[in-house]
Amino acid sequence: MTFKEITERFARSESGSDSFKSFYKDAFELMKTDPDNAGLYFVVGIAAQTYVIKYEDQAVDPDFADRAKATLEGFNKRLLEALDADPAERLRVLGNVAVEYQWHVDAF
């Protein structure tokens, strides 16, 4: 499975924690088969895993879940584009996504 396939499946899925769980498991599996880009998959995989850890057993407002899903989809889009770039650009995009997630995303 490719990152593109994983992100497309996530985009078509519902906004619930099951979708986030499937996504992070697939992202972590992809790290094994594409170690050169494992850092990209790890960052979004951790974001999705954190969402599951925080909200799996809670009732979540649908608008909140939709916003969290849209945030992860935005990260995925940026990383998909970076996969076609040279290694230095991939690293720059990865760093930007990591910083944005750490310092600007408070949903998960």
Return the pLDDT at 48: 98
- Looking at residue 31, its pLDDT comes to 98
Looking from the CA of 53 toward its CB, the CA atoms found within 13 Å total 8
Q: Which residues contact 35 (CB under 8 A, 6 or more apart)?
A: none
d(CA 103, CA 20): 20
pLDDT in tens, the chain (108 residues): 999 999 999 999 999 999 999 999 999 999 999 999 999 999 999 999 999 999 999 999 999 999 999 999 999 999 999 999 999 999 999 999 999 999 999 888
Domain-wise residue ranges, the chain: 3-104
What's the pLDDT at 106? 87
- Note the pTM of the prediction, 2 decimals: 0.96
Q: Give the pLDDT of residue 57.
A: 92
Give me the pLDDT at residue 84, please: 96
Rounded-to-integer distance, Cα 29 and Cα 77, Å: 19
